[in-house]
Amino acid sequence: MNENQNWDEFLVPYQQAVEELKVKLKGIRKQFGKENLHKPVEFVTGRVKPVDSILAKAELRNISLNRLETEMQDIAGLRIMCQFVEDIHEVVRLLRNRKDIKIVEERDYITNQKESGYRSYHVVFEYPVQVIDGEKIILAEVQIRTLSMNFWATIEHSLNYKYKGEFPEDIKVRLKRAAEAVYQLDEEMSEIREEIQEAQHLFSYSKRNSLEETDDKKKLE
């Protein structure tokens, strides 16, 4: 960001990137659905970091405003939620194979969870945005988690906002205990993953047939 830019102008490419990427990443789910396959993507969310958060992080990391584009990786941020840990690895594989992004960094906090208990898989990549003056390459970050990991991370984020990162010791212990419970839940779900997927497939098939029968009845009326 240069001194002559305002924030609205600076953030436009990031906003465009988030909207485009949400559509593309949701498309993964649709493609698997059309093939009648298990969908590794449960749902996708995205946001552009608010200006106050950008400034706070820049101050914390000692990043000058004219280096934001190259040194702040998550101004454009997305999250992909998955049902199973195995789905996370499948999504990472799919991202690596995409031609519209260039991965510059991966951080595996699932195999190497943070001390707090945080677990997620982060992928930082370059993404080309078409703007009036041509093409602009921006950095974006996608966090890939199971639903249970996301629940824990959302709660931890809220508490972090309250305590400004200085958690009371009993809260730290409880959060770590909850993180372990999340890990055990994901492990249990992985153990019966095939049973769950088969049940979901049967449910979807039954629901689709029911809708088709309803449509046929309406046509006959």
Residues noted as catalytic? 141
- Residues listed for the chain: 221
The amino acid occupying position 45 is: T
Q: Torsion over CA of 22, 27, 33 and 34, rounded to 10 degrees?
A: 160
Beta bridge partners of 122: 107, 143
Q: CA–CA separation, 94 vs 210, rounded Å?
A: 33
* 154 contact partners, CB below 8 Å, separation of at least 6: none
